[in-house]
A and B are shown apart, each in its own frame.
Chain A
Amino acid sequence: MGKRFLMKGNEALAEAAIHAGCKYFFGYPITPQNEIPEYMSKKLPEIGGVYLQAESEVAAINMIFGAAGTGKRVMTSSSSPGVSLMSEGISYIAGAELPCVLMNIMRGGPGLGGILPSQSDYFQATRGGGHGDYRLLVLAPSTVQEAVDLTMLAFNLAEKYRSPVMILADGFMGQMMEAVEFKETHMDGLPDPAEWAVGYMKQRGSRALVKSLYLDPEELETHNWKLQAKYAEMTKNEKRHETYLADDAEILIAAYGTVARIARTSINELRAEGIKVGLFRPISLFPFPYEPLEALPKSVKQILTVEMSCGQMIEDVRLGVGKDMPVSMYGRVGGMTPSVEEIKDQVRKALGR
């Protein structure tokens, strides 16, 4: 095992980005992700990078547009209200096929909401947020180590698909301290930015255009189908999930991120009582891993979705299991968290015990 560091989640996310070769950060302060820009503002100048505090999230995401257009590894981070403000820019980035990594350390909404952890931006992350038929590749870690690993993967995937990738975590993940290891990641066959990015006109012999406008409807349709083909590739290659004690389970808890972690403890304790309960945890939220839900172990008679939202991921769970499998939902919102005991009670209630 490599060297391990005790780090706060937000700082680990930032350090993981630096390990992945990201030297450029643009963002605007918002709780609960401030440790990310603060870390970047200290570290990036030391390695010849750029940290720039934008005048707003609107400016920040458009700086990402400008920075990503050079083909270098760039990122921003924010929290829910800030991500709403970035949505127009994210749509432009997707339309112009620019690679970049976005982090949303979710807090409670709607509106100004609160500053405590939440998972209520699932729809925004997986269903768009901005306008147009685009998708974000969305990765949802449930431990700080996984946040590190997924961040490093995110930069590779962003380049591989020339598409924005979002790390969707909640305020817990940002504030939690854990020992982490930075494993080197390398992906073969990534496209060479010299083929498409600005700044290579002399070398390439022709200029680059970073744009998303196609006034001719036929051209725009072709462009859209090209993007969809890319999303289909992602769907084929990038689904990730984990199951825990699912093989003989009567009831399966579906949860992601921090909630999945709490649910694990509930599951261990319920198992000790003899209750056959397991976990399904999507790691990629788009593409969503439907297949394991389509082919559940015969023992599974129902699903309990637990989220820090009023019920968002449950729609994907339902899409996966189909209409014959009962799916119920337990949610805490506004910065409230489902406790180990609450989840245990919900499982017992669902089983009528």
Chain B
Amino acid sequence: MKETKIFEKPKSMVDVTTHYCPGCTHGVAHRLVAEIIDELGIQEKTVAVAPVGCAVFLYNYINVDAYEAAHGRAPAVASACKRLLPDSIVFSYQGDGDLASIGMAEIVHAANRGEHITVVFLNNAIYGMTGGQMAPTTLVGQKATTCPLGRDPKLAGYPIRMCEMLSTLQAPAYIARVSVAKPKYTLKAKEALRKAFQTQIDGKGFSFVEILSTCPTNWGLRPVDATNWLEEHMMPEFPLGEFKTPA
């Protein structure tokens, strides 16, 4: 019988096992980015900027030129790289602590300048890498190691909605929130990533894709339960959809 290959690893993805925990969706997000890079044929001119967070080793899995930025500073690194290499396709990949806490100034200003970069924002409502501390996106009542009784808005405020906030700015061209928790969301996530990279290729400006993601380890849930928890609790707080699309 003649075999036809219908599924394979993206070319720009390195053939290694990732360090992610079982059920972590960072890996799914990486794969989608790699598929888009392949489909757009931009591997050799793509530059990745990795964050500080669980995705710091992004460059071990996606085979493109890459920087490892200081915690939260990826948009500044990416902005400068793109300005010096305007023909490159530059993207940052950042967690919620990285982007919405320590790096808030850098993301807001890169967006506001309309930098021609793409930002992939992994929101898992927790500090994964450092062991489950409260993030700016942690839900009200959600337990974390630094809010053991659950996030109390009187003490710690409310989860920050980055897409909504950045959408108040005039410059950004594409802003969307997607999820990779279940296959039915993943296809849409891929389309959003494609649009985001295409926005950059077309020279239309800043593009931003927030991906609601799981962290079973620090949520204290089994992988399947984590995907359900994301659907039930995160999605109402962080509604999916496109917030801005290029003219």
Contact = CB atoms under 8 A, between A and B. Distances in A.
Interface of A: 24, 26, 50, 52, 54-56, 58-60, 62-67, 69-70, 72, 74, 88-89, 92, 96, 198-202, 207-213
A65 B67 contact: yes
A62 B81 contact: no
Contacts of A200: 65
Given A26-B80, A50-B83, A50-B84, A62 B69 contact: yes
Nearest to A67: B80
Interface string B55-86: 01001000111111110010011111101110
Contacts of A96: 68
A318 B47 CA distance: 48
Contact of A213 (B63, B68, B78, B84): B68
Task: With a 10 A CB-CB cut-off, give which of A55, A92, A198 has the most chain B CB atoms.
Answer: A198
B45 interface: yes
13 contacts: A52-B79, A55-B106, A56-B105, A64-B80, A65-B77, A65-B80, A66-B69, A198-B65, A198-B67, A202-B44, A207-B64, A209-B66, A210-B66
What does DSSP make chain A's interface, helix, strand, loop or mixed?
Answer: mixed
B59 A70 contact: no
A208 B88 CA distance: 14
Interface string B104-125: 0110110000000000000000
Task: With a 10 A CB-CB cut-off, give which of A50, A58, A64 has the most chain B CB atoms.
Answer: A58
**A-B CB proximity, top 9 nearest:** A66-B80, A66-B77, A211-B68, A62-B73, A63-B80, A62-B76, A198-B65, A55-B109, A67-B80
Contacts of A65: 67, 69-70, 73, 76-77, 80
Interface of B: 43-45, 47, 49-50, 56, 59, 63-70, 73, 76-81, 83-85, 88, 105-106, 108-109
Contacts of A201: 43-45, 64-65
Given A66-B76, A199-B65, A207-B64, A89 B70 contact: yes
B70 A67 contact: no
What does DSSP make chain B's interface, helix, strand, loop or mixed?
Answer: helix
Contacts of B68: 96, 209-213
Contacts of B80: 24, 26, 50, 52, 62-67, 74
Task: With a 10 A CB-CB cut-off, give which of A64, A74, A199 has the most chain B CB atoms.
Answer: A199
Contact of B76 (A54, A198, A209, A212): A54
A52 B83 CA distance: 9
A52 B116 CA distance: 14
A63 B81 CA distance: 8
A62 B52 CA distance: 14
B226 to A, nearest CB: 26
A60 B76 CA distance: 7
Given A62-B73, A202-B44, A202-B45, A67 B84 contact: yes
B65 A66 contact: no
A92 B70 contact: yes
A305 to B, nearest CB: 36
Contact of A199 (B56, B78, B79, B88): B88
A55 B70 contact: no
A208 B65 contact: yes
Given A65-B69, A70-B85, A198-B65, A211 B59 contact: yes
A125 to B, nearest CB: 20
Contact of A59 (B43, B56, B64, B105): B105
A89 B59 contact: no
A262 B67 CA distance: 45
A87 B67 CA distance: 19
A14 to B, nearest CB: 18
A199 B85 contact: yes
A66 B92 CA distance: 12
